[in-house]
Chain A
Amino acid sequence: QSALTQPASVSGSPGQSITISCTGTSSDVGGYNYVSWYQQHPGKAPKLMLYDVTSRPSGVSNRFSGSKSGNTASLTISGLQAEDEADYYCSSYRSSSVYVFGTGTKVTVL
C-alpha cells in the first residue's frame, strides 16, 4: 500500500502561514472527502487536527485549515506559533476501511 506524498519539510517564521501538500491518487485523496491531518510531537502519539478535509475536532485551533483539489489535499497553518513545530501526517480513506498515510512533513518554526 503506497504512501501519500508530502514534502519532507516546511518552515516559516512566527506569525506566517505555511501550507503542506498531500498528493495521492483518484483511488484515495481524489476519490473521497475523507482526508485527515495529524500532528505528532517527538515521542508522542499523533493527534487528529483535521478530518473530512476541512473539519476540526473540538479543541483544535482555527489556525489550522484544510482544502482539497483533485488528488491533492492541503493543510494550512496560519499565524504560525512555536508550539506548531512538529511532524504532520495526512491520511486518506482508500477502500474497505483501509486508510493510507502520508510520508510526513517536518514543520520548523524559524
Chain B
Amino acid sequence: QVQLVESGGDLVKPGGSLRLSCAASGFAFSEYYMYWIRQAPGKGLEWVSYISSSGTTIYYADSVKGRFTISRDNAKNSLYLQMNSLRAEDTAVYYCARLYSTIDYWGQGTLVTVSS
C-alpha cells in the first residue's frame, strides 16, 4: 500500500535551516508529481511546493519562494524540502503528498517549530 513517511521536523531558531525528508513506498515514486503542504497550528492547509516526476518542473508558494528548495531522489524513493531563513510563521506540520489526478495520499506529517 502507498506509504509516505516524513522526518526531519524539529525546533529551530528564527533564521535557521532545516531539511525535511519523505520516504515513499508502495508505488512507482518516479512516476508521480510530489507536493509539500503545511498546516500551521489550528489553521488550514497551505500548499508549499511541488516537483514533477523527473524533477525538471518545480513551483513554490510566494510565501516560501527564495527560502525553500524542493528536490527528489528517484533512486532512493525520497522527497526533500530544504528550508532556510526560517521564520516564526513557518511553524507548521509539514506533509508530503502524492499527485494522482488529485492530491490523493498524504504522509502523517512532521512538525517544524520556529522559535527563539
Q: Shortest CB–CB separation between residue B51 and chain A, in angstroms? A: 10
**Interface size of A as a range:** 20 to 34
Which of A3, A46, A91 has the most B CB atoms < 10 Å from its CB? A46
Residues of B within 8 A of A48 (CB): 102-105
The answer to whether B102 and A103 have CB atoms under 8 Å apart is no
Residues of B within 8 A of A69 (CB): none
Interface size counted on chain B using CB atoms at 8 A: 24
Q: A36-B103, A45-B95, A52-B102 are in contact. Are A103 and B47 (CB under 8 A)?
A: no
Residues of B near any A CB (own CB < 8 A): 33, 35, 37, 44-47, 50, 52, 57, 59, 61-62, 95, 99, 101-109
Residues of A near any B CB (own CB < 8 A): 1, 3, 34, 36, 38, 44-48, 51-52, 57, 89, 91, 96-104
